[in-house]
C-alpha cells in the first residue's frame, strides 16, 4: 500500500549546516495492516511519516502509495492523491474558530464533495468516533481525546485508504491514549484502512501494531512482526524499548550474588506457551530450584507475550539440563547479563 | 447652565454634526480601500516570507522596503507630497475626495503589517493539516488562514481605524473638514475653547466606542 524506497532527507540550517534526517530509509506497509515506527525523538520518524504525503519532500528516493509514485506528480495529481491519505497529528490541528461540525464539513466542501452529501458524511463519521452529540461545540470546549476524535473523523470523512498518524496519542493521558488506540484498531478492522503510525511509546506498538520498524539516527535499524521484535530484539535500542515494558530493576549486587549459585535466565513466552507450566516442571524433573525474580505478561495485538526472569539454583550439570529442557519445550531462554541495563 | 448648552448646540451643532459625518466618510472610504489593498499585501508578506511554502525573497524584500518607506513618512508630509498624484487619480486634491488618496497611502501599508502579524499567529499545524488533505492553497489562505486570524485581524483593524481618525484631523489642511479641522479652526485659530473641548470629548467617545466594539467583536470571533 505504501512503499518508501531509499528515502533520504537533508535539511539545511540557517548557517547552511547540513542536517541529515533520513538516510536511505526503505519500508513497505501492506494493505490493511497497522505499521508502527518507533524511535526516540530526533530519530527522524516524524520526517519519515511526513514524506509519505510529501508534506516534506524527500531529497532522494521515491514514495509509492496505492501503486502511484507521488514524487513525479503534478500539483493537481498530488492534491488528488493526498485526499486519499488521511493524517492525524499530535496537536490535533483543528480550526479553533469553527464548530466540530464545521471542522469536518469545511474540508469536505473544499475537496469538492457535494453539499447534499456533506451532512450525511459528517453525521456518519462523528457517530463512528462517538461524538454525535457535539456538533455545535467549539474545539476549545473539548478535551484532548475528544479533539483527536474530531481530527480522526475529519480524516476518515474523506474515506481514505491510508491513515498516517504523527504521534497522535503523545499529548494524551494513558487512559485517553488507550481509547484512541481502540478507535484506530476499530477503523482498521471495520474499514480496512491501512495505518502507518509513528510513536515513541512502546505500548502503542504493543496494543495495535502488526509490524514495527525501529528508527535511530535517520535509519531503520530493525523491522519485523511485533512479536518477533519483542521476543528477540537484536539492536541495543530495540532491546531498550522492549525492556521499558519489562522493568528489570533488580539490584546489581543481588544479581551478582545469585549468579554464583546458578544462572539467571529470562524466559520469553509467546502466544500459547505463555500459559504453559514449564517452569514448575523444572524442580520435579531436575535437581534444581527455580526462583522467580521478576515477571510480566503483556497483551500484544492478538497474542499474549510474557517475560519471566528466574534464578535456577543447582549444580551446573543439572542447571544445564534444565535449560535444555526449557528450550525443548519451546520457551525462549536467554541468560541475563548483569551490566545490561 | 441649561441655557448655555442649548445656545452652544444652536451655534455649533450644525458645524460639529457635519464635521462628524465628514470624519466618518473619510475613515470609512479610506479604510475600505486600505483593507482591500492591505489584506492581500499582508497575505503576500506571509506567503513569500523565507521558510514558507511559496517563499520568494524578491517579492518579500521589495514589499518590505516599499511598506517601510511609506510608513516612514509622516502623514502631513505624505498629504502634500502626494498632491500631484492625488490630482491625477481623483481629479482634485482638495475636499474629502482629495484626502482619500493620501489616507490610503498612509493606512494600507499599516494594515498590511497588522495583517501580516495577525496571519503569522495562525497555527502552522492547521495549515499543514489542510495541505495534507489536498486542499488548494487559495482555499487554505481564505478558509483557514484568514478565518483563524479573524480575532487578531479585527483587533488590528481597530488599531488602524483609530490611527486613521488621528490622520483625518489633518485633512482640514486640504479642505476636507472633519472633527480635527473644527477643533483647529474654531477652537484654536478663533479661540473658542468650548468648541475645542467638545470636539475632544466627541473624539474620546468615538475612539472609546470603536475600541470597545473591536474588543467585543474580537472576543466573539475567538470562540474559546
DSSP states of B153-215 as a string?
HHHHHHHHHHHHHHHHGGGGGGT---HHHHIIIIIIIT--HHHHHHHHHHHHHHHHHHHHHHH
Most A CBs within 10 Å, among B55, B126, B134, to test the A interface: B134
pLDDT tens digits, B148-160 = 999 999 999 999 9
A14 close to A71: Cβ distance less than 8 angstroms: no
Interchain pair A96, B143: CB under 8 A: no
Angle at A86 between CA A116 and CA A100, to 5 degrees: 55
DSSP H or E stretch at residue A241: helix A236-243
What is the rounded average pLDDT of the residues A29-54? 92
pLDDT tens digits, B184-218 = 888 778 888 888 888 889 889 999 999 999 999 99
Interchain pair B147, A98: CB under 8 A: yes
What is the rounded average pLDDT of the residues B62-88? 90
Q: Is A160 on the interface with B (CB under 8 A)?
A: no
Interchain pair B134, A95: CB under 8 A: no
What is the rounded average pLDDT of the residues A279-299? 82
**Which among A231, A252, A198, A172 has a CA at the least distance from the CA of A4?**
A198
Q: Report the CATH number that the domain containing residue B117 is assigned in CATH.
A: 1.10.3720.10
Interchain pair A111, B134: CB under 8 A: yes
User: Is B163 contained in some domain?
Assistant: yes
User: Is B2 contained in some domain?
Assistant: no
DSSP H or E stretch at residue A82: helix A75-82
User: Is B66 contained in some domain?
Assistant: yes
Give, as one character, the DSSP assignment of residue A99. -
What is the rounded average pLDDT of the residues A262-290? 78
Question: Is the pLDDT at A338 greater than 70, yes or no?
Answer: no
Residue B95 zone, left/alpha/beta (φ > 0; ψ -120 to 50; rest): left
Q: What is the pLDDT of residue B97?
A: 83
Q: What is the pLDDT of residue A248?
A: 63
Chain A residue closest in CA terms to B220: A97
Helix, strand, coil % (nearest 5) of chain A? 40, 30, 35
Q: What is the ipTM of this complex?
A: 0.84
| A87 contacts in chain B (CB < 8 Å) | 129, 132-133
**Domains, chain A, ranges and CATH?**
2-243 (3.40.50.300), 252-340 (3.30.70.260)
User: Is B86 contained in some domain?
Assistant: yes
pLDDT tens digits, A117-149 = 999 999 999 999 999 899 999 999 999 999 999
Q: Nearest CA of chain B to the CA of A265: how many Å?
A: 48
What is the rounded average pLDDT of the residues A161-173? 93
Total count of domains within chain B: 1
A21 close to A10: Cβ distance less than 8 angstroms: yes
Sorted by sequence, the CB contacts under 8 Å of residue A222 that are 6+ apart come out as: A213, A214, A229, A233, A234, A235, A238
Mean pLDDT, chain A, integer = 88
CA–CA distances in Å: residue B102 to residues A145, B11, B33, B88, B160: 53, 32, 12, 13, 15
User: Is B160 contained in some domain?
Assistant: yes
Give the residue, B183 or B109, on which the prediction is more confident: B109
Q: What is the pLDDT of residue A287?
A: 86
Q: What is the pLDDT of residue A30?
A: 94
Terminal alpha carbon distance of chain B = 49
User: Is B87 contained in some domain?
Assistant: yes
Q: What is the pLDDT of residue A249?
A: 65
Give the residue, A340 or B100, on which the prediction is more confident: B100
pLDDT tens digits, B90-145 = 888 778 888 899 999 999 999 999 999 999 999 999 999 999 999 999 999 999 99
User: Is B5 contained in some domain?
Assistant: no
Sorted by sequence, the CB contacts under 8 Å of residue A301 that are 6+ apart come out as: A34, A185, A206, A207, A208, A209, A210, A226
Question: Is the pLDDT at A211 greater than 60, yes or no?
Answer: yes
- Tell me how far apart the alpha carbons of residues A87 and A49 are, in angstroms, rounded to a whole number: 10
**Is the alpha carbon torsion for A319, A321, A322, A323 positive or negative?**
positive
The domain of B78 spans 11-222
Give, as one character, the DSSP assignment of residue A304. E
Q: What is the pLDDT of residue A341?
A: 44
pLDDT tens digits, B13-39 = 888 888 888 889 899 999 999 999 999
User: Is B88 contained in some domain?
Assistant: yes
A32 close to A191: Cβ distance less than 8 angstroms: no
pLDDT tens digits, A246-255 = 766 677 788 8
Amino acid at each position: 500500500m505504501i512503499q518508501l524506497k531509499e528515502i533520504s532527507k537533508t535539511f539545511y540550517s540557517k548557517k547552511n549546516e547540513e542536517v541529515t534526517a533520513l538516510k536511505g530509509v526503505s519500508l513497505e506497509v501492506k494493505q490493511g495492516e497497522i505499521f508502527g515506527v518507533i524511535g526516540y525523538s530526533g530519530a527522524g520518524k516524524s520526517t519519515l511519516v511526513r514524506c509519505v504525503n510529501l508534506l516534506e519532500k524527500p531529497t532522494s528516493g521515491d514514495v509509492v502509495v496505492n501503486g502511484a509514485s507521488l514524487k513525479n506528480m503534478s500539483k493537481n495529481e498530488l492534491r488528488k492523491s493526498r485526499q486519499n491519505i488521511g493524517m492525524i497529528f499530535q496537536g490535533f490541528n483543528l480550526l479553533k474558530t469553527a464548530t466540530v461540525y464545521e471542522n469536518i464539513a469545511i474540508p469536505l466542501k473544499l475537496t469538492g464533495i457535494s453539499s447534499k452529501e456533506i451532512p450525511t458524511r459528517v453525521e456518519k463519521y462523528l457517530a463512528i468516533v462517538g461524538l454525535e452529540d457535539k456538533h455545535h461545540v467549539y474545539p476549545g470546549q473539548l478535551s484532548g481525546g475528544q479533539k483527536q476524535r474530531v481530527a480522526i473523523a475529519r480524516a476518515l470523512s474523506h474515506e481514505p485508504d491510508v491513515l498516517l498518524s504523527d504521534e497522535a496519542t503523545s499529548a494524551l493521558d494513558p487512559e485517553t491514549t488507550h481509547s484512541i488506540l481502540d478507535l484506530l484498531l476499530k477503523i482498521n478492522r471495520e474499514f480496512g484502512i491501512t495505518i502507518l503510525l509513528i510513536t515513541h511509546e512502546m505500548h502503542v506498538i504493543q496494543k495495535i501494531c502488526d509490524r514495527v520498524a525501529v528508527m535511530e539516527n535517520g535509519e531503520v535499524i530493525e523491522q519485523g512482526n511485533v512479536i518477533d521484535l519483542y521476543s528477540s530484539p537484536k539492536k541495543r535500542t530495540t532491546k531498550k524499548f522492549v525492556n521499558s515494558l519489562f522493568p528489570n530493576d533488580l539490584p546489581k549486587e543481588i544479581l551478582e550474588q545469585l549468579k554464583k549459585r546458578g544462572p539467571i535466565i529470562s524466559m520469553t513466552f509467546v502466544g500459547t506457551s505463555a500459559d504453559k507450566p514449564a517452569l514448575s516442571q523444572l524442580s520435579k524433573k531436575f535437581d534444581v530450584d527455580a526462583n522467580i525474580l521478576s515477571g510480566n505478561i503483556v497483551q500484544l495485538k492478538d497474542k499474549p507475550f510474557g517475560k519471566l526472569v528466574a534464578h535456577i539454583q543447582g549444580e551446573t550439570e543439572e542447571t544445564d539440563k534444565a535449560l535444555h529442557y526449557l528450550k525443548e519445550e519451546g520457551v525462549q531462554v536467554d541468560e541475563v547479563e548483569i551490566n545490561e541495563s | 447652565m441649561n441655557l448655555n448648552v442649548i445656545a452652544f448646540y444652536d451655534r455649533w451643532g450644525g458645524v460639529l454634526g457635519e464635521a462628524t459625518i465628514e470624519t466618518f466618510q473619510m475613515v470609512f472610504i479610506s479604510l475600505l480601500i486600505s483593507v482591500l489593498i492591505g489584506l492581500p499585501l499582508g497575505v503576500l508578506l506571509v506567503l513569500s516570507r523565507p521558510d514558507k511554502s511559496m517563499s520568494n525573497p524578491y517579492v518579500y524584500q521589495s514589499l518590505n522596503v516599499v511598506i517601510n518607506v511609506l510608513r516612514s513618512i509622516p502623514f502631513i508630509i505624505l498629504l502634500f507630497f502626494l498632491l500631484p498624484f492625488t490630482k491625477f487619480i481623483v481629479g482634485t486634491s482638495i475636499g474629502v475626495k482629495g484626502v482619500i488618496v493620501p489616507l490610503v497611502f498612509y493606512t494600507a501599508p499599516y494594515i498590511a503589517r497588522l495583517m501580516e502579524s495577525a496571519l503569522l499567529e495562525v497555527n502552522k499545524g492547521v495549515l499543514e493539516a489542510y495541505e495534507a488533505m489536498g486542499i488548494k492553497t487559495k482555499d487554505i489562505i481564505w478558509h483557514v488562514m484568514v478565518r483563524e486570524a479573524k480575532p487578531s485581524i479585527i483587533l488590528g483593524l481597530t488599531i488602524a481605524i483609530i490611527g486613521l481618525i488621528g490622520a483625518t484631523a489633518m485633512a482640514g489642511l486640504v479642505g476636507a473638514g472633519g472633527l480635527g479641522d473644527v477643533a483647529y479652526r474654531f477652537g484654536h485659530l478663533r479661540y473658542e475653547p468650548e468648541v475645542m473641548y467638545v470636539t475632544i470629548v466627541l473624539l474620546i467617545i468615538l475612539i472609546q466606542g470603536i475600541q470597545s466594539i473591536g474588543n467585543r467583536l474580537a472576543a466573539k470571533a475567538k470562540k474559546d
